Structures are given as structure tokens and as C-alpha cells.
Amino acid sequence: MDIVYYEDPVGNFGDDLNALIWPRILPRDVLDSDDVMLVGIGSLLDAARFRGRDIAGRRVFVLGSGAAYGRLPDGCEAWRYLAVRGPLTAALIGQAQASITDSAALLAGLPELVPVAGRRDSILFMPHHRTLVNSRWAEAAALAGMEFVDPQWPPERILAAYGRARLVVTEAMHGAIVADTLRIPWVPVLISPEVSIFKWRDWLGSLDMPYRPIQLPPTARLEAFRYRRISRITRGTGRSIADPTLAQASDGQLIADFHQRYRDEPEVIDGVAAPGGVKTLIKGMVSAFDGPMVAAAAAALRRAAAGEAYLSRDAIFADRLAALQAAVATLIADVRAPAPGAAVRADAAGA
């Protein structure tokens, strides 16, 4: 089985959950099926993700993935959709019945992956992985009395931190998904203009929850510079994926925005920071004046943690988890079933 997910060379929590979850819930014979492709955890329904992949002759199953960062893959209408992340993705593919929830929720059936501490009194803070660039959020979290969690850490280390947590403040969507799955209250925040409002709303729609992220200020001058530069690049292009006004848009407006945004292959805006030479020469000097910004960010973090916390209703979560588990059972049965035409070929060979 080819399990499709984004393997960031430096790690990214949500994507890395694929390597933890699927080998534990799928039988060996299913994992060894070489004609099967599984599209799992992550914003994987994106044409760029499948560029160069050999799909010909393979059975493609989608289980809990979603759209967010680009147009849908060519030919994806022929894939088998057992579950998608939420109602927005389901609307894009024209299969409302496939809206279940993000498959990272399957972590609920794997308690051995989350060692629970004797005292669960930590407040975790997890930024989006893009927010780490030129920022000082680890210092701000420490000043706020919180435990900083880097989404690029190995997932085992992150899950151990969840075992100590009573609250999670997170900009990373899978930081919230895992907190909700483990029934830990969480607070959504927004810092970087590279966070996708669409994918947050997609997942939260699957659990009948709103999205009201708390805007936090940057921790450093170079961090603020980076965000301003991204905003200038995306202004007028329709590609600013973290436009706060989208958080309260209707589903129809978000779908229309997605189609408008990804009519053509988008220009990738990656690694935006201070210009190389300037960054090399003055980063240390500039950082020496960031103290007040770190303090202000820490104060904003404390206010966020004291505000409204989220947690999906137990009955809704249980229903979505049961639907995901049923989708896994269907996947196993479908993979084990003979491929179309196999019986005919076998009979012909026997004759």
C-alpha cells in the first residue's frame, strides 16, 4: 500500500501521524497490497501532491483527508471516497455523504500512543510550523507559563506532552484535532497569514463547531516583517489563505473562494523572510530589541488561555469516530476483495 502524505524533512505533526496510526490499525495483508493507494491524514486533495505519482492501475482510497492549498487532483472523481475531513471538502468533490471528520481522530482508539501523566496540569502552546520562522514563540510561551510544543518535533514527543495537558492553545489545526480527540479543551489562535482558514472551517464543520480564532501579535521584528511581506505579495491575488474575514464566511462563500483562488496553479510563496544578506548581518542585532514584543505576545497568550475553550460534544465526537472506524472496516474489506476482472482472468487461466 502506498500511503500518501506529506513527509516534511524537518517534521510536521499532523502529517507525521500517518506513520503512527495506519500501521497500527490496518492488517498486514492490507498494508502489503501493492495495487492500493491510501490518501490519509493531511490536506492531500491537491493536484501538486500527486504530480509525478504513478496512479495508473491502482485503487485509490481517500480516508479522512481534505482540500485546502490547491485545485483538486486530476482524475480524482474516480477515486473511492470512504471519508473526507469535512463538509467543505465533501462539497468540492460532490459527495456529501463522505463528510465524516479528519482521520487523525482514529488516535482515540490507540491509547498506548499517549502516555498519561499522574498530573495533567500543563497548558500547551503549539504554533503553526510556518510561524516558527524568525519568531520567538518558545520564549513567549515560557514567559506566559505555558509548555511550548514545536510541531516539528517527533510525534511521540508531542503526544507525551498531551499526556500532561489540561488545555491546548494552538494555531496548528492538528494540534486542535488531537486535543479534541483526547478530550482536552483547546483554544484556537491565529498568527501567521499562511494558516488555512478553509481547512479549519472544514474540520470544525464536521463536528458542528464554530471557528473564532484569537489573533496574536508577532514576537519579533523579523517575524512581523515576514508577515507584512507575505501580505504584500498576496494582496490583490486572492491567495491570502488566512484572511480573518473568511473565518466567519458562509460555507458557500468559502467554496466560491476556493474555486476562485485555485482556478490556475497558484504561485508558491515559500520561505519568505528578511532578504538573505540583511538577515545574515543584522538578525542578531535586531533580535536584541525584541523583548517588548515577546512580553506583549506572552500577555496575549495568557489572555487567550483564560478565554473561551473549545471541545466538541461527546455524542458528536463518538458518532464521527464510529463513522471513521466503519470507513476503516470498509477499506479493509474493499482491499481484500478481488480487483475487478480478477476472477475472470483467473477462470481464463484455469481453462
Pair 166, 102 in one domain: no
Q: Is the pLDDT of residue 196 over 80?
A: yes
Q: What is the pLDDT of residue 263?
A: 78
The Cα 329–Cα 325 span in angstroms is: 6
Pair 149, 194 in one domain: yes
Confidence band of 224 (pLDDT split at 50, 70, 90)? very high
Extract the C-alpha cell encoding 237.
Answer: 491575488
137 and 216 Cβ atoms separated by less than 8 Å: no
Three-state SS at 40: coil
Helix, strand, coil percent values for the chain (each to nearest 5): 50, 10, 40
Q: What is the pLDDT of residue 266?
A: 47
DSSP alpha helix (H) spans, 94-191: 137-143, 155-162, 173-181
The Cα 275–Cα 270 span in angstroms is: 13
Residue 279's DSSP bridge partners are none
Pair 8, 138 in one domain: no
Pair 72, 135 in one domain: no
Q: What percent of the chain has pLDDT over 70?
A: 86
Confidence band of 230 (pLDDT split at 50, 70, 90)? confident
**Single pTM value for the model:** 0.91
Pair 232, 260 in one domain: yes
**Which residue carries 498531551 as its cell?**
162
Mean pLDDT of 306-333: 98
163 and 285 Cβ atoms separated by less than 8 Å: no
With CA atoms as reference, report the closest residue to 225 among 135, 129, 295.
135
The number of angstroms, rounded, from the C-alpha of 285 to the middle of its chain's C-alpha atoms is 35
The Cα 128–Cα 181 span in angstroms is: 19
pLDDT in tens, 233-279: 776 555 556 677 788 889 999 999 899 888 765 444 344 444 444 45
The Cα 300–Cα 331 span in angstroms is: 45
One-letter amino acid of 72: L
Q: What is the pLDDT of residue 338?
A: 79
Q: What is the pLDDT of residue 268?
A: 42
Pair 140, 87 in one domain: no
pLDDT in tens, 281-301: 455 555 668 999 999 999 999
pLDDT in tens, 150-167: 999 999 999 999 999 999
Pair 133, 160 in one domain: yes
The total number of structural domains in the chain stands at 2
62 and 81 Cβ atoms separated by less than 8 Å: yes
Pair 148, 294 in one domain: yes
Listed range (111-120, 162-171, 333-342) with the worst mean pLDDT: 333-342
Pair 78, 24 in one domain: yes
CB under 8 Å, gap of 24 or more: what pairs does 12-15 form? 12/129, 12/151, 12/152, 13/126, 13/129, 13/151, 13/152, 13/153, 13/155, 13/158, 13/172, 13/174, 13/175, 13/178, 14/41, 14/42, 14/104, 14/151, 14/172, 14/173, 14/174, 14/177, 15/41, 15/42
Q: What is the pLDDT of residue 8?
A: 81
Q: Which domain holds residue 214?
A: 115-306
Within a 10 A sphere around the Cβ of 20, how many other Cβ atoms?
A: 17
Task: Give the neighbor-by-neighbor strand order of the sheet with 186-190.
Answer: 147-148, 122-126, 165-170, 186-190, 214-215
| Residues 308, 257, 63: CA angle, nearest 5 degrees | 70
Pair 199, 279 in one domain: yes
Pair 88, 119 in one domain: no
Q: Is the pLDDT of residue 351 over 50?
A: no
Pair 8, 129 in one domain: no
One-letter amino acid of 51: R
Listed range (66-80, 191-205, 334-348) with the worst mean pLDDT: 334-348
Per-chain mean pLDDT for the chain: 89
Mean pLDDT of 181-204: 96
Extract the C-alpha cell encoding 133.
Answer: 520562522
